[in-house]
Amino acid sequence: MNQDSSLDTFPKHLLHTARVHANRPAMRHKEYGVWQSWTWSQLLDEIRAYSLGLKELGVSPGDKVAMVGSNKPRLYWTFAAVQALGAVPVPVYAESVAEEMEYVLTHADAKYAVCQDQEQVDKLLSMSEASQLIQHIIYDEERGLRDYDHSRLHHFEQVQQLGRDKLSNDTNAEQAWLDAIAQGRGDELCVMLYTSGTTGKPKGVMLSHNNVMSASRNANLFDNLTEKEEVLAYLPLAWVGDHIFSYGQFLTAGYCVCCPESQDTVEVDRREIAPTYFFAPPRVFENLLTNITVRMQDAGRFKRWLYSYFMSVASRCGEDRLNGKSVGLKDSLLYTIGNAMVYGPLRNRMGMTRLKVGYTAGEAIGPEIFSFYRSLGINLKQLYGQTEASVYITAQPDGEIFADTVGKPSPEVELEIDENGEVLYRSPGVFMGYYKNEEATRETKDAAGWVKTGDAGFIDSNGHLKIIDRAKDVGKLNDGNMFPPKYIENKLKFFPNIKEAVAFGNERDYTAVFLNIDLVAVSNWAERNNIAYASYQELAAHPEVYRMMEEHVDQINRDLSNEDRMAGAQIRRFLVLHKELDADDGELTRTLKVRRSFIAERYDALIEALYSDKTEQFITTEVVFEDGRRGELSATVQIRDMKIYGQEVLRESA
Amino acid sequence: MGARAAAQSIDQGAELLRVDDISLSFGGVKALTDVSFDVLRGEVRAIIGPNGAGKSSMLNVINGFYHPQQGEVWFAGSQRRNPKPHNIAHQGIARTFQNIALFNGMSTLDNIMTGRFTHMKQNMLMQAFWRGPAEREEVQNREKVEEIIDFLEIQAIRKTPVGRLPYGLQKRVELGRALAAEPILLLLDEPMAGMNVEEKEDMSRFILDVKDEFGTTITLIEHDMGVVMDISDRVVVLDYGRKIGDGTPDEVRNDQAVIDAYLGVAHD
């Protein structure tokens, strides 16, 4: 792999890769049930025509081009096509509601927009302010858009045709395009990514070519990734992780990116492609495991026995094998048999047969879930990163995997813990600043280039970073005990039956939590136990469900009582929410993280009840349906008291 | 295939189907009495009416399943004389059913494939050997079916047996099978029965997209008045086997006879 310093921008890298790997597959897309592919030289051809077409439409250096849609090849081409003109791509979360999107588009001064389909075009046209700002909209899928006013709407193919016409009519066009690319510099703005905004309005993180390039190259080196890898692009384009995996590393390593047929077919497509490099938030791994567990419970008795027997073998020796330790002859033999009968088929089912390395990040993953995949021989690792760092801050090196840490500093990353316990880092991937927000930039990044992560953590005896919680979230109970909400919530969420948990306790007398049941797991459990229910609400309030939740919370309290600094944070009271926390209602961010303060406001009555001696509370909440209409949901929610374990109990049980 | 070619050559907006004075009875029960209306090329024509008004019977007359005792059916400029349903299919009329009629054990893909039978010209022997022309034909048909799967956004259930699918999706597969025949006239018998609001919105969008993208003429029966008024160009109203109204949704909505019949003021 050429690490030439003259390759300091992505368009330059595209030209380079298209020359070096001209006939290797660059991209695949499943369409009409068949995987269609492009080689690197074909890809360059498509992007060049598209880029020149955009130039004809007036895209000039410094312009911001918004991108709205899912993982389609043409949207990925947009990155390079736009960058080749010196303009800046701004991918936007396609799922975000109109107001959120409008804020981002106007804040970013987007003059052009590339949309996937009618749905996104409609959304843009419905925004009065952003729509005035945007001069041209380019769309990928024609369907339903035929009768629209086409004065500023263009089909992707028309734009490409514009470029092709230019190429054939003007002999200098290609050279001019190449010259413009040659003039690009590594310290120029490469992409603007808006953070999902757990706190306040989204901020536009400006990353330079150097930022994304160094992060991508280091990641390739760290895991020995080459042009032979195949990855599946299925995470939101606007998310920094996808940008590095499916664009940065794609161009620098020259590997093949595969775009699924639709969001619903990702699992099937992953199985067909069997990616060698894979990235997913913990949620994806949790869902996969839940599905497997549910299906195993429906299997015949022999299969169930086979599964449970060999899974116990795997949990005994699988991880050690993967870490390269010797496990003894008997276990070694059993594991080989298990590999043929259970682990291999399971890996195949999950599309992880060829997986070289898989990463999970974004949130803490349950230790059992993490171990499950590793014991199957899947090299799953954790990393810790941020948009502001071009992803990588720490990652677990091969052979040094601990479920409760996020690994060692990535190449070229310096790490420090300040006096408040907050994690700071400095690296070549550190962002240029927030767009039009000097103040926030100064708050986050100091003059020497150190960036505050906002996370509290410490470096353990192995030199690995361990994250406890968001620095500002770690609070105190009224009795002075530490209250780390995320820590407690994550512990709860590791139970398959609990989908989401929200803990309260800062400046309160004790810890109390909201729970959300996991509909897949709990409904299956209900079916097996002959528990009838008509709705989510009814199931959530079922006495048997409450009993199960009580057992889970009790288990957490026992665990917490065993940890020195956490014993005071045991859960005194809890309730099971009558509705699923939903991003459409603003309760979760688009990356499905809990919005604590919003929830606290919305369910104020429930929280007050948790800190009174009521055993139930009536509440009415407004809900937003998928099409934007509003409705109301009301319920009487039960509240349960829990047993608190003191030091004596601890001794007895220990 | 003569009728199909003739039908395709006619311009948008011209008359595609006309029924004249249709009367149909089963023994003493009169299902339809002197019903006449026409369907223009490229429009969505709804047939509405209370239960037992004769809507499904009318659809069955159009696709040749019932033969009326009296009256004429004109399709694409020529009169039909007691044809068999499969002749009708070859002329370019496809339909879906009120109670889904799919092959439950077969996958979505295979079910939609069966809709291509009018486009399979190779004989059984050739198909059994599956070489040369038969293979090419299958590939062509599969491409068309994949386009429909893409159009209806059912890629995720391509290989799923339809018996395992929820009702709303089965309805969509059935629409897919009808579309696979590349019909000139598409008959939909209560395409939205038993669906929730979201599924209805999806289905409405698909129906309008079928009209726009494929230029297919659509005749549908539907009970949900909101949907009918939103997506139809013209509406025929039947009551007790007689036509009591005909016109644009607005005209029909304000017609006193229709209001009485449909809202049950006069009869119930």
Residue B143: closest CA among chain A residues belongs to which residue? A32
Which residues of chain B are within 8 Å of residue A264 when distances are taken between CB atoms?
155-156
Q: For residue B100, what pLDDT is reported?
A: 82
Selected residue of A32, A72, A262, A268 to mutate for chain B interface (largest B Cβ count, 10 A): A32
Q: Which helix (H) or strand (E) covers residue A371, if one does? A: helix A367-375
- Interface contact B156, partner A, CB < 8 A: yes
Q: For residue A12, what pLDDT is reported?
A: 95
**Among the partner residues A146, A264, A626, nearest to B212 by beta-carbon distance:** A146
**Among the partner residues B153, B158, B198, nearest to A33 by beta-carbon distance:** B158
Q: Homologous superfamily of B1-92+183-268 in CATH? A: P-loop containing nucleotide triphosphate hydrolases (3.40.50.300)
Quote the Cα angle for B83-B89-B94, to 5°. 125
Every domain of chain B and the residues it spans: 1-92+183-268, 103-181
**Among the partner residues B149, B198, B205, nearest to A33 by beta-carbon distance:** B149
Determine, for residues B155 and A147 on separate chains, whether the beta-carbon distance falls below 8 Å: no
Contact A260, A225 (CB under 8 A): no
Name the interface residues of A facing B (CB cutoff 8 Å).
31-34, 143-144, 146-147, 261-262, 264-265, 268, 625-627
d(CA A136, CA A63): 12
Nearest C-alpha neighbor of A79 from the set A53, A47, A52: A47
Nearest C-alpha neighbor of B19 from the set B166, B187, B168: B187
d(CA B218, CA B228): 12
d(CA B76, CA B223): 28
Q: For residue A49, what pLDDT is reported?
A: 96
Q: Which amino acid is at A525?
A: W
Contacts of B39 (CB under 8 A, 6+ apart): B15, B16, B17, B18, B45, B185, B217, B219
Q: For residue A595, what pLDDT is reported?
A: 85
d(CA B179, CA B146): 12
Quote the Cα angle for A134-A136-A137, to 5°. 95
Determine, for residues B155 and A33 on separate chains, whether the beta-carbon distance falls below 8 Å: yes
Determine, for residues A144 and B198 on separate chains, whether the beta-carbon distance falls below 8 Å: no
What is the DSSP secondary-structure string of B151-220?
A: HTT-GGGTTSBGGGS-HHHHHHHHHHHHHHT--SEEEEESTTTT--HHHHHHHHHHHHHHHHHH--EEEE
Q: Which helix (H) or strand (E) covers residue A428, if one does? A: none
Token code pair at residue A141: 């899928």
- In tens, the pLDDT along A517-557 reads 998 889 989 988 898 888 888 999 999 999 999 999 999 99
Q: Is the pLDDT of residue A419 over 60?
A: yes
Q: Residues 49-78, chain B: which have Cβ within 8 Å of A?
A: none
Residue B208: closest CA among chain A residues belongs to which residue? A144
Nearest C-alpha neighbor of A287 from the set A598, A592, A628: A592
What b/e sequence results for B170-192 when a residue is b if at least 16 CB atoms lie within 10 Å of its CB, and e otherwise?
bbbbbbbbbbbbbbbbbbbbbbb
Determine, for residues B143 and A32 on separate chains, whether the beta-carbon distance falls below 8 Å: yes
d(CA A16, CA A630): 52
Q: What's the average model confidence in pLDDT over A181-206?
A: 87
Residues of chain B with pLDDT under 50: 1-3, 5-7, 9, 266-268
CA distances from A364 to A25, A281, A369, A468, A506 (A): 35, 9, 11, 10, 21
- Interface contact B251, partner A, CB < 8 A: no
The total of other beta-carbon atoms located within 10 Å of residue B209's CB is 16
Q: For residue B265, what pLDDT is reported?
A: 58
Determine, for residues A268 and B198 on separate chains, whether the beta-carbon distance falls below 8 Å: no
Residue with tokens 């400095």: A426
Q: Which amino acid is at A306?
A: L
- In tens, the pLDDT along A54-112 reads 999 999 999 999 999 999 999 999 999 999 999 999 999 988 888 889 999 999 999 99
Q: Residues 189-248, chain B: which have Cβ within 8 Å of A?
A: 198, 201, 205, 209, 212-213
Give residue A294's pLDDT band: very low, low, confident or very high (50, 70, 90): confident
Phi/psi of residue A177, nearest 5 degrees: -65, -45
Contact A181, A15 (CB under 8 A): yes
Spell out the domains of chain A, with CATH numbers in brackets.
Answer: 10-273 (3.40.50.12780), 282-426+447-470 (no CATH), 475-653 (3.30.300.30)
- In tens, the pLDDT along B62-102 reads 988 899 999 989 998 888 877 788 888 888 899 998 888 89
Q: For residue A4, what pLDDT is reported?
A: 60
Calculate how close chain B gets to A29, using CA atoms only, in Å: 13
Contact A411, A402 (CB under 8 A): no
Q: Is the pLDDT of residue A652 over 70?
A: no
Which residues of chain B are within 8 Å of residue A261 when distances are taken between CB atoms?
155
d(CA B147, CA B101): 22
Calculate how close chain B gets to A144, using CA atoms only, in Å: 6
d(CA A226, CA A217): 11
The single-letter DSSP state of residue A389 is: G
**A220-234, A461-475, A542-556, B16-30 — which is least confidently predicted?**
A461-475
Residue B146: closest CA among chain A residues belongs to which residue? A32
% residues pLDDT > 70 (chain A): 96
Token code pair at residue A72: 């389609």
Give residue A471's pLDDT band: very low, low, confident or very high (50, 70, 90): confident
Q: For residue A653, what pLDDT is reported?
A: 41
The single-letter DSSP state of residue A382 is: E
Q: For residue B160, what pLDDT is reported?
A: 93
Give residue A347's pLDDT band: very low, low, confident or very high (50, 70, 90): very high
Phi/psi of residue A185, nearest 5 degrees: -120, 155
Token code pair at residue A44: 């360059």
Which residues of chain B are within 8 Å of residue A625 when distances are taken between CB atoms?
198
From edge to edge, which strands make up the β-sheet containing A571-576? A498-504, A511-517, A571-576, A630-641, A616-624
